[in-house]
Amino acid sequence: MRLNRPRRHDIVGTLRRGRATGARRRTTVLGAVFAVVAAVAFGSNAGAQAATSEGLLCEQNAQQTFSLTARSGYISTPDGNSIYMWGYGMSAGNFQLPGPVLCVTSGRTVTVILHNDLPEATSMLFPGQSAVKANGNPAQPQFDSGGSLTSMVQPASAAGGSVTYTFTAGSPGTYLYSSGTDVTKQQQMGLYGTLVVRPATASAQVNDRADSAFSPQHEYVYLLSEVDPDVHLAVERNQPVDWSAYNARYYLINGRSMPDTLAPNNASWLPSQPYGALVHIKPYDAATNPLPAVIRYVNAGRVNYPFHPHGSDERVVNKDGRALQGTDPTAPQDLSYLKYDIDVMPGQTVDALMDWRDVEHWDPTTNPIPTEIPVITDQLLVGADTWFSESPYLGQKGTFPSNITVNNECGEYYHVAHSHALQQATNYGAAFGGMMTVFRIDPPAGCPTS
Amino acid sequence: MNDDPRSVPDDRADDRADDRADDHADGRPTRGGLGRRAVMLGGAGAIGSVFLGTRLSFGQPTQRPTVVRPAATGNVKSVHLVGTDGWVSMPAGSPPDLPFFPDSLAPDGFDTYVFGFRDVTQMSTAAEVAAVRGKAQVSAPMLAFDEGDEVTITLSNLGLLMRPDLFDGHTLHWHGFVNAIPLFDGVPELSLAVPIGRDLSYHYRPHDAGTYMYHCHFEDVEHVQMGMTGMVFIRPAQNRTPVNGDPIGTKYAYNDGDGSTRYDREFAFMVTELWSAAHYRDAHIQVSDWTDYAPSFWLLNGRGYPDTIAPPGDPRTTAAGRLQYQPISSLIRCNVNETVLLRLSNLGYQNHAFTLDNVDMQVVAKDAALLRGRDGTTNYQVTNTVDIGPGESRDVLVTPRRAGEYLLYDRNYAYLGNGGGTGWGGMMTVLRVGAAETYGPQTEPNT
């Protein structure tokens, strides 16, 4: 897939075809906003080329020491909106959403130094880790002199404070880190990120079980969250927030909404949203491609996100950093299970292995499908571009009308994966957006152009 | 399969308005008043029937089967569905929520505008198929196939009688199906969509037994909420080779190898919510912001309690009155000590938690996958409350040991009302357990 331009054109096309007059009105208004934001965003990155990068981008070092800064910035949404956010970024870097994916090894000490550039105190919680300390003292909830809770853990004070957290990395798996101060607001503003804890002896396994092995080139984090733009506007303008009117309008995977979720990591047109969510695999093959991909689901929001991958089940092997297994001391029983919808609760993490298996091997000459594909005039092509190949066969590509932008390279397959609370799979109500991404399955020999 | 696909006229608003007046002036369908478009579509349907090949003759049952009867030759099975719009009825006594509910455009007896599917597989004439336009049913026709079947589902888009201004496509997404052909997945941006007046034959080869669901994926958040949702389940190969010395004819939910998913009766439940305001806006040429989602009715198989326990109906006759287009009953009946399989699929946008009073529930599968590890470790879960998120399914076995009536309901009491009214409603039904041999062998799910 060639993603060398902003995908916003696509979503505008989606809105147009959606014949939603209200949505169209919104697009017009937001279009003006977008023009301003685009000028700033692209201007500041003029000449920058995004590397075509997919999958998990780890922040890691031998000392397992990370210096993070909580600061404010902006993200953009596919319908052209611009949202004021707070987020964790590398202190040597810039604002980003979500926070960096910190990759560490189970059982070893981790140090996180938090600097606070925000106008209020903030902190970090590390659920699932052991011996968590703040500036050398046990991590503890904080109370004022009247006994009222002020923070769930020792914070860094506003506008320049800092605090150093240390902990021993917990059992292998995936964890959410997030603010423990003014949590309703700071979670909504974007203070969250993912901690990946790898087994001490086998880094390409989800946990200590050999049957949790995955292909290291096909490791993905899906950090799920949501945004009510009214809250963010109020905070940006230093106005009171009416939480009783809370209503999320944007639903994010790794800080992006569909179709921005398909853009590569570090896309230049998404300067503060560095993480993509495109899964890019080949069919399972016992000899040449035996290992599954892994998707690490993390819910940083306030409601369940029931995530539905099309086309293949996923095997849930880990929850909240713990292997799904029995209590047999010598050979713990396998309690993993297959799912076609992974309903992730707030604060929960779910690690799932996924592959795609060509069980039918449909072939136009040796094993043709027994139904007829309608001619192009009997199809409804939505929008001005498409991903599918006009062929049912993997690695085959049909012909398209010249007015269609074809994103399909070589007859590769595409399946969507999205929240099945379908209002979450929209951008402010417009379908084919929000908490949605795409799984790309290349032919076994790969795409010649990719 | 239309002989000349470009022959569809694009301006039929007058005809459709006429159809609407004729069809629903008295709340009953009529066979007259077909517009030119409908006739043309009938022609396409007839050709489609030829294409579908051999049909079995079932005669005319007095009671329409709960599950669609495919046209079948051996394991090659064909179903013909249509997508269109229509009107349904929420439970009597639901309080008004004007202007949204009841809808002022609704024909007598109905109150809620919907999109939906209809099964036209056994219809023998093109005119019959064409006459289904504007008469969608909710929830969609229940589909059941056997593991290893060669399944072709032809979907025809009959258009929307109430909304001749819309050119919405329809698609079929077999939710949870391990799909070897993404072209048949139903997501219009990544696969084929069916325009008005056309059809598409989807091919599936189900390898994995279990409980699934199907829905339209075109403008998904809208078309799913509008009612294009139905159950589909796959019966395991083990039914043909019973285990543990069980007699031929024994039914299992899964290929369990040990008979642990054996059941005597099965009942399937499509779990959805209904947001009256959005349905009203679709009928009245307005637009919903779907992030405002705020449902007002909570439904099992398209009905709210107490309609859930009303008998099954037939959308082709007016016998069921205002429930004509909500034909699927959710009343559960069995004899004492029988095992009942409950198939739950959630195509609403909210989580639900089903409690069954005084009878344990054993969850044997989630999302059409037996709860069994790769090493064979069984992990069935006994509970009194089964949680189910949007897009998920559950297979639950219950074995009542005492005759009586037991309530199955959403433990979130906020979902036990109809449109904000007082009294019982929403996601509730009854498990009616008779003494031994009260009920003869079950021949159809949900009966």
Structural domain boundaries of chain B?
5-268
Domain ranges of chain A: 281-354, 376-441
Residue-wise pLDDT tens digits, A340-372: 999 999 999 999 999 999 999 999 999 999 998
Please check the confidence at residue B46 and state whether its pLDDT lies above 80.
no
Helices in B25-173 by DSSP H: which ranges?
36-52, 126-130
> Do the chains contact at A339 and B222, CB–CB below 8 Å?
no
A163 contacts: CB under 8 Å, gap ≥ 6: A113, A114, A123, A134, A135, A154, A155, A156
> Do the chains contact at B369 and A375, CB–CB below 8 Å?
no
Q: Residue B350 is encoded by which pair of tokens? A: 């909210």
Cα–Cα nearest to A340, from A440, A417, A432: A417
Quick one: CA dihedral A347, A353, A358, A359, positive or negative?
negative
Of B154, B177, B189, which to mutate for an interface test with A (greatest number of A Cβ within 10 Å)?
B189
> Do the chains contact at B293 and A423, CB–CB below 8 Å?
yes
Out of A304, A340, A413, name the one closest to residue B176 (CB): A340
Confidence tier at B160 by pLDDT (50, 70, 90): very high
Residues paired with residue B67 on neighbouring β-strands, in sequence order: B142
Please check the confidence at residue B112 and state whether its pLDDT lies above 60.
yes
Contacts of B150 in chain A (CB under 8 A): 370
Q: 3-state SS of B275-329?
A: CHHHHHHHHCCCCCCHHHCCCCEEEECCECECHHHCCCCCCCCCCCHHHCCCCCC
d(CA A195, CA A123): 16
Contacts of B371 in chain A (CB under 8 A): 337
> Do the chains contact at B181 and A360, CB–CB below 8 Å?
yes
Confidence tier at B336 by pLDDT (50, 70, 90): very high
Shortest distance between the Cα of B153 and any Cα of chain A, in A, equals: 10
Contacts of B366 in chain A (CB under 8 A): 337, 339
d(CA B155, CA B169): 11
**Average model confidence (pLDDT) for chain B?**
88
For residue B177, the chain A residue with the least C-alpha distance is A311
> Do the chains contact at A379 and B183, CB–CB below 8 Å?
no
Quick one: CA dihedral A237, A243, A247, A252, positive or negative?
positive
> Do the chains contact at A425 and B183, CB–CB below 8 Å?
no
Out of A334, A381, A415, name the one closest to residue B373 (CB): A334
Q: What is the mean pLDDT of residues B339-359?
A: 98
Residue A33 CB neighbours (<10 A): 15
- At residue B56, the pLDDT reads 35
Note the ipTM here.
0.88
> Do the chains contact at B178 and A311, CB–CB below 8 Å?
yes
Measure CA A428 to chain center: 18
> Which amino acid, one-letter code, is at B28?
R
Distances (CA, A) of A169 to A179, A239, A240, A343, B214: 18, 39, 38, 26, 43
d(CA B418, CA A276): 43
Concatenating the DSSP letter of every residue in A47-89 gives T-------S---B--TT-EEEEEEEEEEEE-TTS-EEEEEEEE
> Do the chains contact at B198 and A378, CB–CB below 8 Å?
yes
Please check the confidence at residue B328 and state whether its pLDDT lies above 60.
yes
Of B76, B211, B291, which to mutate for an interface test with A (greatest number of A Cβ within 10 Å)?
B291
> Do the chains contact at A374 and B6, CB–CB below 8 Å?
no
- Residue, of A7 and B82, whose pLDDT is higher: B82
Residue A148 CB neighbours (<10 A): 8
Tell me which of A265-279, B59-73, B153-167 is least confident: B59-73
Residue pLDDT tens, chain A, 450 long: 222 333 333 433 333 333 333 333 333 333 333 333 333 333 333 333 344 799 999 999 999 999 999 999 999 999 999 999 999 999 999 999 999 999 999 999 999 999 999 999 999 999 999 999 999 999 999 999 999 999 999 999 999 999 999 999 999 999 999 999 999 999 999 999 999 999 999 999 999 999 999 999 999 999 999 999 999 999 999 999 999 999 999 999 999 999 999 999 999 999 999 999 999 999 999 999 999 999 999 999 999 999 999 999 999 999 999 999 999 999 999 999 999 999 999 999 999 999 999 999 999 999 999 998 999 889 998 878 888 999 999 999 998 888 888 999 999 999 999 999 999 999 999 999 999 999 999 999 999 865
d(CA A280, CA A261): 13
Q: Residue A325 is encoded by which pair of tokens? A: 């297994």
d(CA A379, CA A382): 9
DSSP secondary-structure letter at A243? G
Contacts of A308 in chain B (CB under 8 A): 175, 391
Place of tokens 């949590």: A183
Concatenating the DSSP letter of every residue in A101-152 gives -EEEETTSEEEEEEEE-SSS-B--B-TT-EEEEETTEEP--EE-TTS-EEES
Out of A21, A23, A311, name the one closest to residue B185 (CB): A311
> Do the chains contact at B367 and A18, CB–CB below 8 Å?
no
Q: What is the mean pLDDT of residues B146-163?
A: 97
Please check the confidence at residue B30 and state whether its pLDDT lies above 80.
no
Fold of B5-268: Immunoglobulin-like (2.60.40)
Contacts of B180 in chain A (CB under 8 A): 358-360, 362
Cα–Cα nearest to B285, from B22, B10, B13, B92: B13
- At residue B34, the pLDDT reads 34
> Do the chains contact at A306 and B390, CB–CB below 8 Å?
yes
Please check whether residue A83 touches B, CB under 8 A. Answer: no
d(CA B81, CA B229): 12
CATH code, residues A281-354: 2.60.40.420
Please check whether residue A211 touches B, CB under 8 A. Answer: yes
For residue A19, the chain B residue with the least C-alpha distance is B166
d(CA B20, CA B87): 11
- At residue A278, the pLDDT reads 97
Contacts of B51 in chain A (CB under 8 A): 372
Please check whether residue A377 touches B, CB under 8 A. Answer: yes
Please check whether residue A372 touches B, CB under 8 A. Answer: yes
For residue B166, the chain A residue with the least C-alpha distance is A19
Distances (CA, A) of B43 to A312, B49, B156, B167: 37, 10, 12, 20
> Do the chains contact at B166 and A386, CB–CB below 8 Å?
no
Please check whether residue A409 touches B, CB under 8 A. Answer: no
Write out residues 266-305 of A within 8 Å (CB-CB) of B: 304
Measure CA B399 to chain center: 26
Residue-wise pLDDT tens digits, B245-268: 999 999 999 999 999 999 999 999
Out of B169, B181, B349, name the one closest to residue A421 (CB): B349
Q: What is the pTM of this model?
A: 0.88
Contact (CB, 8 A) for A228 and A246: yes
Residues, chain A? 450
Please check whether residue A383 touches B, CB under 8 A. Answer: yes
Concatenating the DSSP letter of every residue in B77-113 gives EEEEEEEEEEEE-PPTTPPPBTTTBS-TTPPTT--EE
> Do the chains contact at B181 and A369, CB–CB below 8 Å?
yes
d(CA B335, CA B331): 14
Residue-wise pLDDT tens digits, B166-191: 999 999 999 999 987 899 999 998 99
Cα–Cα nearest to B362, from B246, B256, B276, B271: B256
Shortest distance between the Cα of B433 and any Cα of chain A, in A, equals: 32
- At residue A385, the pLDDT reads 81
Q: What is the mean pLDDT of residues B214-237?
A: 98
